[in-house]
Amino acid sequence: MMPIGTPKVLYRTPGEGSWQWVDLWNALYRERVIFIGQNIDEEFSNQILATMLYLDSVDDSKRVYLYINGPGGDVTPTLAIYDTMQSLKSPVGTHCVGFAYHLAGFLLAGGEKGNRSAMPLSRIALDSPAGAARGQADDIRNEADELLRVRDYIFKELSRKTGQPFEKVSVPKADFYNVSWITKDLSRIKRFGSQEALEYGLIDRIIRPPRIKEDMPRKDAGTGLALGVSSNTSSAALSVGSPRSPQQLSDGLAHWL
């Protein structure tokens, strides 16, 4: 039977000789790894914002890694995360480990160029932001105008991040369906596999875990990821060093599997 709750892992702070048991998310935050794995609402967005701002204040020369596996979320909380990503001194790398739908895909594309990645079977989907205005006609019109303004902002940022043109370019009628531009492509939901996302400019590379050899020796237990036991719960021991990229974390895990 699987244990219920957040796993505990062994963690050693730089300069200290002893290990301590901390919850998994706490250990990853200290390694500058942040997970977005749920619907983004105001409360969750504030937690992500606070974590990013703290890590940037501690050391703005090291990269923050944003791991994304979620359905997106509300427009304003997601834009708050995006704008904060762009304003930090710390570079922010993004990595899709499962799926990044709707505005989660927008965050994926918003990472530092050269450090946006996805796993081979990742799925990404983008579309226009949605609204649900109710009330008097003038209120609905005002809400629609605001939604269009936000849509144009998102599309222009995607154009800047991907290199895709924002508006229609002059093309022969016969080539209309073979030419991409943001406003046409995202007028309805557009889905991408990892290779398609790479070609579109949403990511910069696909992380392919190395093949695991059966006779590969384990790493020394004093560094990287190791196995330990606390009470009746199996846990991983994590030693802090320089921030680990998605490829480095994948390589470390491969040595242990």
In the chain, where the domains are located: 31-208
pLDDT at 248: 61
**pLDDT above 50 (res 232):** no
211 pLDDT band (50/70/90 cuts)? low
Residue carrying the six token digits 């990269």: 63
**pLDDT above 90 (res 126):** yes
Percent of the chain with pLDDT over 70: 75
pLDDT at 80: 96
Q: What is the average per-residue pLDDT within 208-232?
A: 48
pLDDT at 35: 94
* 81: Cα within 13 Å, side-chain hemisphere: 32
Choose which CATH entry (3.40.50.1000, 3.30.70.260, 3.90.226.10, 3.30.465.10) describes domain 31-208. 3.90.226.10
pTM of the model: 0.77
Q: What is the average per-residue pLDDT within 62-91?
A: 95
144 pLDDT band (50/70/90 cuts)? confident
